[in-house]
Structure 1
Amino acid sequence: MDRRWFRPAAIGLAMMMMGGGAVAGANAAEPPRIQSPEEALAQDAGEYATAFHLPLDVAMRHLLAQDETLATTDAIERAFADRLAGIAVAPGPDFAIDVLLTGDAPVTDRFVTAAGSVVLIRFHTGAAATRAQMAESIRLHQAEIRASLLRPPAFGVDQRTGTIVAVVGDSDIAREGVQSLRTRLAALLGAPVRLRTVERPSVDTAAEGGARVVGIDPADGRRYACTTGFVVTDGQRTGIATAAHCPDELDYVDGEGQRQPLAFVGQWGWGYQDVQVNVSAEPLAPLFFADTSKTVARAVRNARSLAGTRAGDYVCHRGERTGYSCASVELTDFAPAGDLCGGACLPSWVTVVGPNCRAGDSGAPVFSGTRAYGIVKGGSYRRDGACAFYFYMSTDYLPTGWALLGAPSPMVNSVTSIAPSPETGQR
């Protein structure tokens, strides 16, 4: 058996041969160091501390509290299912959680202990529609709204405010006016609407990633590169999950430029999915790269469901183009603009604020610590090329029969894609 360290591609996960005892590193001779959960937390906390201007020890407590309050907010979601408009993490100096409900019946604030600190859970009432109602309204009316606009819009639910965010073109605002357009969309969607523009429509991000894989697209004969992602299994085989808009046949490229083929299993890219599976001839371990230089790796231990994802959750991704970076979840139940999903996309995606996304990040893993959140599909860019936000597919929607290796599969509660690019470009 070839004992070279193998780092396959697809979403950003590093992989390890079972007989080797380590994961692929920056080159074949030097496998990366595998982080402990505590080291993973400290690395992400460094980004959090910078983003929110906090001391590192406070940032670490906040990220621990983010993770330890997941069970609490899941319970709140179940208890207030008929009223829940949103749950949002407030990351300021005083970590707190806001719960937004429909109706006027008040709910007393609560306190829970997480990460050794007392966390305030604040309840707010008066929302016009629940999160589920807003997501369903987007699904029902997006075709009608799209037909009435010059540029295809995108829609998402802002759990902080209980509003639907409509990402529209400047030309539509100029033609109809801000107030008139907002009022018309709100009447159709049955919820308050906030308008947003980004000067450039959403696009699939070019495939590159946690590690590099390459393949030729038979449609144009060009070579594309993608990002590798999480390791998946069907109980017998192990492989990598990457974006479905990557080429079918992929070669894993190691640190010395040597290639190993990854056999194509299938791709699922309609409505709520953008995922492809390529299997390895060698067993893989549930590892992924977690730094720009690919010198450290993490093992997947948990996953987070789409239904339980909160606005303000702080997540990271590792793309082949942009490396490692972290930012906050902004919109859930997001329906990207255009025909990125074999037609219109369903409101099943999640957005993360920029500025770090570029073509080539497609298929990259989205994670917090050792918890898997999803796989990068695409992004929206401003006219100057800067990343406004990227969006990912929840690991809920891995293809039937396949699951994350190393983590229990999250339960799918509802149906709530960056793209390949030529090696001379990015997907």
Structure 2
Amino acid sequence: MRFLLTCLLLTLAFVPRVAAAQTVETPAEALTRDAAEYAKLFAVPQEEAERRLTALEASVPVTDEIEARYRDRIAGISIQHRPDFRINVYLTGGDPVPDETLQLGGMTVPVAFRTGARASRDRVIWAVTWHQAQIRAMFTRPPAMGLDPRTGELVVLITSGEAKSGVEQWRAKVEAVAGVPVSIRVVDHVDVNLSAPPLGGARLEGTSPDDGKRYLCTSGFAVTDGTRYGIATAAHCLDQMSFIAPDHSEVPLDFVGQWGWGYHDVQIGTVPGPLAGLFYADTARTIERPVTGSRTRDQTRAGDFVCHRGERTGYSCAVVELTDFAPAGDLCGGACLPTWVTVSGPTCKGGDSGSPVFSGTIALGILKGATYRPDGSCAFYFYMSVDYLPQPWSLVLGATPTLPGVQPPLPPVAPPEIGARGQP
């Protein structure tokens, strides 16, 4: 019975090797699939899209080095896709830095340095960390806020109702409190977690003890603490969830715990056997990808092209907007820290909570919530970086189930601390 249960779990979520229809993509095949989405979004040939995505992945250590080199001056690093493909670096101060060219993924990638930013990234993040409560108290509805790495400004998203008293007045008021350059954007929106009435890469369902209704989420990545194996999803999903197999049978997860404050939105449920590091990467759940690595939030740039697979919306790809975002309201057991990453819409719906966010076979995060416009359309979604998996849990690698102790998992990154990025 234990063997049968384990096989069923693996078949449903991460190691579905028994069904003939299942396909495990190689990293090259994953690149091709994602590049097709990039080609449609940016109207470039498939070959160009593949070169660009290859260059993007190869550029991660390069931008890490640039950030370290200009640590005291960095206001932001972003990826530009139109009218040409390049990396933009925005620096404080007036001392010029010559542009560079890089050979990445078989193509030449320009790196353009712009100077004159009024505040560094560290100063803006510190401003949000220390003055968030004051800024939130200024508005009728606590606003979302974050760093725009394309301008080096603190972006505050307010409603049109708040804006009636004057956008420039609000900018001056917030800037006086924060002590950094501020940009006010008027966006009528509602930030919500994406759990939904019932419906995760795989489908998760559970019955709420409060109202007796069925609720839906999406499973994220396979994780391990070195002895146990489990599935990570969003903390705001129900504690007791089950996989819904293709034949509609249910396999319950053994709830370990949930972490849902400040910078966390993750829960873990275990299964009685080892898991492979596989996740669904297509809408129909017939194609799986192995996790071959991860990318930290610090390594993620505005303009990065990423994908996710949610139970309600299927497989879709878009670009990262902000990498230091604090959602509006009290979605994190109170105010959220500026540690969330936003990705542009239009694809997000309730039930996608907990779903994997990835680039090729690189794990990036676990989807938390989304911002909706008044007409119900998705403005953007936001996710928790896999950096913040609770210790000692970490990602499992590879397409083959491994026994405890046989294959070391990816180590987790230490949780964020105030001042971790430096002081203003």
Normalising by structure 1, we get a TM-score of 0.91
1:96 matches 2:86: yes
The 3-state SS of whatever aligns with 1:206 is: coil
Could you tell me which runs of 5 or more consecutive residues in structure 1 were left unpaired when the two chains were aligned.
17-21, 417-427
Q: Which residue of 2 aligns with 1:163?
A: 153
Q: Which residue of 2 aligns with 1:153?
A: 143
Q: Give the C-alpha shift of residue 45 in structure 1.
A: 0.4
Letter in 2 for 1:181: W
Q: Which residue of 1 aligns with 2:421?
A: none
The 3-state SS of whatever aligns with 1:325 is: strand
Q: Which residue of 1 aligns with 2:313?
A: 322
Q: Which residue of 2 aligns with 1:181?
A: 170
Q: Report Cα offsets for 1:176-230 as digits up to 9, x if no partner.
A: 2111111211222222222223323201011542211111222333221110110
Rate the CA distance shift 1:283–1:227 in 2: closer, same or farther, 3 A: same
Asked if the contact 1:231/1:285 (under 8 Å) is kept, the reply is yes
1:200 matches 2:189: yes
Q: Report Cα offsets for 1:104-146 as digits up to 9, x if no partner.
A: 1111111221011121111111111111211110111111111
Letter in 2 for 1:165: V
Asked if the contact 1:322/1:358 (under 8 Å) is kept, the reply is yes
Q: Which residue of 1 aligns with 2:76?
A: 86
Q: Which residue of 2 aligns with 1:71?
A: 61
Q: Report Cα offsets for 1:361-417 as digits up to 9, x if no partner.
A: 10011000001110100001011100000000000000110001116336448458x
- Equivalent of residue 269 in structure 1, options 260, 264, 276: 260
Deviates more, 1:183-192 or 1:165-174: 183-192
Q: Give the C-alpha shift of residue 14 in structure 1.
A: 3.1
Aligned mates of 2:85, 2:292 — CA distance in 1 = 25
Alignment of 1:123-162 (within 5 A): 123-162=113-152
Aligned mates of 1:64, 1:137 — CA distance in 2 = 35
Deviates more, 1:35-44 or 1:213-222: 213-222
Letter in 1 for 2:170: L
Letter in 1 for 2:184: L
- Equivalent of residue 304 in structure 2, options 283, 291, 313: 313
Q: Give the C-alpha shift of residue 238 in structure 1.
A: 0.8
Q: Which residue of 1 aligns with 2:250?
A: 259
Asked if the contact 1:6/1:23 (under 8 Å) is kept, the reply is no
Q: Which residue of 1 aligns with 2:103?
A: 113
Q: Which residue of 2 aligns with 1:408?
A: 410
The 3-state SS of whatever aligns with 2:246 is: coil
Q: Give the C-alpha shift of residue 3 in structure 1.
A: 7.1
Asked if the contact 1:8/1:211 (under 8 Å) is kept, the reply is no
The 3-state SS of whatever aligns with 1:345 is: coil
Letter in 2 for 1:409: P
The 3-state SS of whatever aligns with 1:235 is: coil
Q: Give the C-alpha shift of residue 157 in structure 1.
A: 0.9
Aligned mates of 1:184, 1:379 — CA distance in 2 = 27
Asked if the contact 1:166/1:193 (under 8 Å) is kept, the reply is yes
Asked if the contact 1:300/1:371 (under 8 Å) is kept, the reply is yes
Q: Give the C-alpha shift of residue 93 in structure 1.
A: 5.6
- Equivalent of residue 348 in structure 1, options 321, 339, 344: 339
Aligned mates of 1:113, 1:164 — CA distance in 2 = 33
Asked if the contact 1:154/1:337 (under 8 Å) is kept, the reply is yes
What is the aligned length?
A: 403
Aligned mates of 2:381, 2:124 — CA distance in 1 = 21
Identity, in percent, stands at: 51
Letter in 2 for 1:252: F
Aligned mates of 1:415, 1:317 — CA distance in 2 = 28
Q: Report Cα offsets for 1:57-78 as digits up to 9, x if no partner.
A: 0000000000001010011111
Aligned mates of 1:120, 1:6 — CA distance in 2 = 49
Aligned mates of 1:254, 1:303 — CA distance in 2 = 27
Once superposed, which parts of structure 1, at least 4 consecutive aligned residues long, lie more than 6 Å away?
none
Letter in 2 for 1:194: S
Aligned mates of 1:314, 1:7 — CA distance in 2 = 30
Q: Give the C-alpha shift of residue 15 in structure 1.
A: 1.2
Deviates more, 1:348-357 or 1:143-152: 143-152
Q: Which residue of 2 aligns with 1:301?
A: 292
> Aligned-pair RMSD on alpha carbons?
1.8
Aligned mates of 2:48, 2:219 — CA distance in 1 = 32
